[in-house]
């Protein structure tokens, strides 16, 4: 029987734009192809590979790089949601409570308590209600805190 799987790891990736800045950052060389067009070459665990503008350069936990074609990248990966710092703290706190008190699941409790106990405009509950899909994705997949981009 065939089973269906989902990827659970997050990656760091950057779309190659052909700029000298990216060529320097990834220590790339140049190669002239037989058709007369040049390209950047990046060192990967699979050997030296030609990078095209629009390809994605992914970086692993050990600093290794690999290439992902744009169409494959768009079908496979989604950017992590960017959330406010106070909402991130709320997620961390609720995750901790879920480990101690696994009643009904933490995300359910976090969202339902906001509705049941009410919220005021501008507070965490207001943000959760108005961004419920993003809150759920952040809870399940991870997130980036506003202003803390690498």
Residues 19-64: tens digit of each pLDDT: 989 999 999 987 765 665 667 899 999 999 999 899 999 998 888 9
Residue 101 has pLDDT above 50, yes or no: no
Q: What is the pLDDT of residue 104?
A: 47
Distance between CA atoms of residues 118 and 106, nearest Å: 18
In the chain, where the domains are located:
12-76, 82-145
Proportion of the chain above pLDDT 90, given as a percent: 30
Query: Pick the residue with more confidence: 8 or 61?
Result: 61
Residues 89-99: tens digit of each pLDDT: 877 776 655 45
Structure tokens at 48: 């030296």
Alpha helix (H) residue ranges in the chain: 20-25, 70-76, 85-100, 106-116, 124-130, 132-141
Q: In this structure, how many other beta carbons lie within 10 angstroms of the beta carbon of residue 47?
A: 7
């Amino acid at each position: 029987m065939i089973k269906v799987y989902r990827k659970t790891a997050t990656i760091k990736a950057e779309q190659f734009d052909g700029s000298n800045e990216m060529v320097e950052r990834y220590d790339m060389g140049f190669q002239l192809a037989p058709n007369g067009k040049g390209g950047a070459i990046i060192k990967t665990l699979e050997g030296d590979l030609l990078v095209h503008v629009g390809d994605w350069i992914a970086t692993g936990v050990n600093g290794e790089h690999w290439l992902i074609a744009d169409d494959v990248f768009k079908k496979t990966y989604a950017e992590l949601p960017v959330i406010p710092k106070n909402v991130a703290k709320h997620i961390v706190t609720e995750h901790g409570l879920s480990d101690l008190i696994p009643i009904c699941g933490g995300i359910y409790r976090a969202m339902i308590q906001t509705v049941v106990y009410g919220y005021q405009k501008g507070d965490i509950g207001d943000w959760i209600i108005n961004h419920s899909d993003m809150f759920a994705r952040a809870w399940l997949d991870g997130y980036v805190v506003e202003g803390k981009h690498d």
